[in-house]
Amino acid sequence: MPQRYPVIIITGTPGTGKSTHAQLLQDASPVPLNHINVGQLVKDKGFHHGFDQQWESYTVDEDKLLDELEPLASAGGIILDWHTCEMFPERWADLVVVLRCNHTMLWERLEKRNYPLKKIQENNEAEIMEVVLQEARDSYPQQIIVDLKSESSEDLENNVANIVEWINQWLKDNKEDSQ
């Protein structure tokens, strides 16, 4: 049976660097990992119930999305990149990375994206209140959750290097389990 590779969920408030981390991790990984930007997948495949003008985002059809992702997650070797994680079944995740950012810095990042003020305020409040981190803690075993600061290019480099280290250890641990 071929070696299965891990499923890594990278989550965090919008603007914390999820897609950048996921892309760099895909490039640096010692094994092939497919980066899935879940928000883009929702748009591309129409896995939504329409566009919410007030929040300037799609209302996700979770059933369609999960049906699409189930075989990919079962096979392993993916990085799921999305602003929430609680909908992904616990059995999928080998590692859940929650990216965190100083709320002032986050505000500036979201302004640069031209987010409407209401959306910036909501996301900033979510970051301050640790909403995404709490979702992860409520949804997955504590030992697979890592909370990483994502404020500088140095943080980015260190985070990716640490996740690559984790992948190497995961591969060793799971190779031994399969023997």
Question: What token pair was written down for 52?
Answer: 């919410």
Annotated binding-site residues read 15, 17-20, 113
The CA distance from 25 to 40, in Å, is 18
Write down the domain spans for the chain. Answer: 5-171
Q: How many CA atoms lie less than 13 Å away from 158 in the CB half-sphere?
A: 10
Q: How far apart are CA 151 and CA 52, in angstroms?
A: 29
Counting beta carbons within 10 angstroms of the beta carbon of residue 27, is it exposed (0 to 12), middle (13 to 18) or buried (19 or more)? exposed
CATH 3.40.50.300 is held by the domain 5-171: yes
DSSP labels, 101-149: --HHHHHHHHHHTT--HHHHHHHHHHHHTTHHHHHHHHHS-GGGEEEEE
**pLDDT per position in the chain (179 positions), as tens?**
567 899 999 999 999 999 999 999 999 999 999 999 999 999 999 999 998 887 778 899 999 999 999 999 999 999 999 999 999 999 999 999 999 999 999 999 999 999 989 999 999 999 999 999 999 999 999 999 999 999 999 999 999 999 999 999 999 999 855 44
Q: Which residues are annotated as a binding site for ATP?
A: 15, 17-20, 113
